A and B are shown apart, each in its own frame.
Chain A
Amino acid sequence: MVDYLIILFAVTLIYFASVERLTNYIRLISLQGLLLFGIAIFELKEINTANMLFIAAETLFIKTILVPYLLTRIIKRSGVTKVHRDAMPGFYLLILSISALLFSVILTQLMHNQYINSIFMAVALFTLFTGLLLIVTHRLIISHLIGFLVIENAVFLFSMAVGNRMPMLINIGILLDIFVGVLILVFFGLRLKPRTNELTMLKD
């Protein structure tokens, strides 16, 4: 079951490359939160109840509900609905995304280890590359925020890959989400002008 959920998670990443509407991005982020909850439920069997509740709150409340809600508010406030017209076309992004997937699979094969679930590792790496691609190829601040959230999901997947052995690391990852992710969204997402890409006041 976990494998199906992880593969579905990978599909959402490919979908990131082909959409242009920001509402679709938000839906994907929300869906990823839900999938991460499912993966956590099935994967972390040896974890204690308190930690499990903590992870459930993180995935279901923060990733699936709170973060998408905040993103929607930012979009409504700014009136921006699509990615920047100068962003890389979806077709090229799709090719890059597939290449990132292939690279992740090859890298995972090279790093084969008894402690690692290969599918977990490959998809976590793919998630990381997708997040970085979103930041590098897009120009709107809100796209960068979404790229950051995707990287956060990569961190979460990585930490779950070793979660049974290291519950403390998962908690730290969760704290990263709560303190930084939400801080960025609430504090800066609503203050900066998400419509523009004009963060050029500071330059040489």
Chain B
Amino acid sequence: MVVLLFFTTAVIMSLLIILLKRRVLTKILSLLFAVFLIGFTFYSWQNLNRTEFSYFTFDSAGVLLLSILALLSIPTIYHGFIYTVDDDPKKHSIYHAALIMLMTCMSGAYLANGMTILWIFVEATTLSVAALIYHDRNDAALEATWKYVFICSTGIALAYLGILFLGFVYGRDDAANLSFDTLVGLIKQVNPLYLKIAFLFVFVGFSTKMGLFPMHTVTIDAHSVAPPPVSALISTTLMNVGFLSIFRVYSLFASSEILGFMNHVLILSGVLSLLIAAGYMLKAKHLKRMLAYSSLENMGLVAIALGIGGTGYYAAFLIIILHSLAKSSLFYQMGQLSRILNTFRLDNCGKYMALYPAGALVLIAGLITIMAIPPSGLFISELMIFRAMVNNNQWIALVIVILLLSFILYAMSIRIMHIVYSNPRRDFDPGPPSYVNPVETVSQFFLLGLVVVFCFYQPWFIADLINQSIAIFLP
């Protein structure tokens, strides 16, 4: 019943914010929601593997991703307050109500124990995030929102077709919720062609959320236009929703004979994601788009890690966790950068160290962590992927991946260093920079610090949850 209480309270809070349109009340309710979400996460830790309200299970993978969301909730809401400080009450209330609904829907997607419930929550995230992407109400926001809603809806319709294929697999009277537990027993009896088609539909459909090739374009546009705190969520916890959806189906089908097929699809999609990320980052002219392509790169690595198997499974989860922490802090920093430089165009950016040293340090630390340079925890995860590739004798894939990662490292490094130290390439008058309190960077340093900690020490409770999530793949 706690699950029901959580969803009901979140909806009521959201409605109150929309209806009353009071700034102070909105702030109080938003912070209360964050506290509520953190409390709910603690509850889920204490009730691991328990099913509530028939449709939700606190399984290890879901709880792990819910914990990341809970961790990011307070900084996201805090940076949201700063971003919306000059908005009129209507825009202000829509933003925060939609943010609460987005976090609630993501929580539901993490904990859903059946395909249909998962699908409903994924669909609901599209609707709530659309309101956030459209926040600035300009032409670019309209275009990005249109593309996001249209492509996500098409993708989710495809995922739904994949779920219906699972329905064909089932074909029994009690199939209404398509729960993972009931499906797993039937998979081995089914024509593999059904499973392949279902997997392809689900993979393509949910890759709109994961931001993975072939549906990556939708999130790139959304990143570049959405308010930075929202980009932080789209790029991390919302992508994690896509990852979990694909991982659920992958785990479900792993006992069937199509495991090899799924691995090939994942590796191919991962390598193509890296290729596209490398290509576009080498010519990137917009800072937030560059970070979006960096997310594509990381999701590509996650797909490759899953496809490789072995230690790759653990590495995939590790990337998901650490990428969420590092990328969100970089996107939070984008909010401050835009107030100092008044632009995201790379040619117009420069001398950031002189203008805002705290922010420049976040950019440098963020570059080191997101590019998996030691002492970043992501270094460990990439090392695990490379080791898995070597163990599987996938030398060609290894060479291609390392080559593409080198291009990405080069592209991102020179651009970040340019912003921090060089003069702008163009004569650009950004106007007087706003004052940004260095205290705003505290949450970013904290999150980046956590990524570094993972390089030296991985807390046992996190490692346990990851191992439980991938237990079916362990020997």
Q: Which residues of A contact B (CB under 8 A)?
A: 107, 110-111, 113-116, 128, 135, 141, 144, 148, 151-152, 154-155, 158-159, 161-162, 165-169, 172-173, 175-176, 179-181, 183-184, 188, 191-192, 199, 201-202, 204
Contacts and interface: CB of A to CB of B under 8 A. Distances in A.
Contact of B177 (A115, A159, A168, A188): A168
Given A168-B176, A172-B119, A155 B157 contact: yes
Q: Which are the 6 A-B pairs with shortest beta-carbon distances?
A: A115-B171, A168-B176, A158-B164, A202-B221, A162-B167, A180-B153
Interface stretch (B190-198, B317-325, B391-399, B436-444): B190-198
A116 B161 CA distance: 14
A110 B192 CA distance: 11
Given A165-B175, A169-B176, 11 more contacts: A148-B150, A154-B157, A162-B164, A166-B167, A169-B163, A169-B164, A172-B116, A184-B150, A188-B145, A191-B142, A202-B221
Interface stretch (B13-21, B282-290, B407-415): B282-290
A173 B146 contact: no
Contact of B161 (A154, A167, A179): A154
9 contacts: A111-B197, A148-B157, A166-B167, A167-B176, A172-B119, A176-B156, A180-B156, A199-B146, A201-B139
A169 B150 CA distance: 22
A34 to B, nearest CB: 21
A166 B169 CA distance: 13
A135 B150 CA distance: 11
Main secondary structure of the interface of A (DSSP, over half): helix
Contacts of B421: none
A128 B159 CA distance: 12
A184 B149 contact: yes
Interface residues of B, number: 46
A143 to B, nearest CB: 12
A179 B191 CA distance: 34
Contacts of B225: 202
B172 interface: yes
Contacts of B171: 113-115, 162, 165
B142 A176 contact: no
Nearest to B146: A188
Contacts of A167: 176
Contacts of A110: 193
Contacts of A199: 143, 146-147
Contacts of A114: 171
A155 to B, nearest CB: 5
B289 A188 contact: no
A192 B197 contact: no
Nearest to B281: A204
A162 B167 CA distance: 7
B202 to A, nearest CB: 14
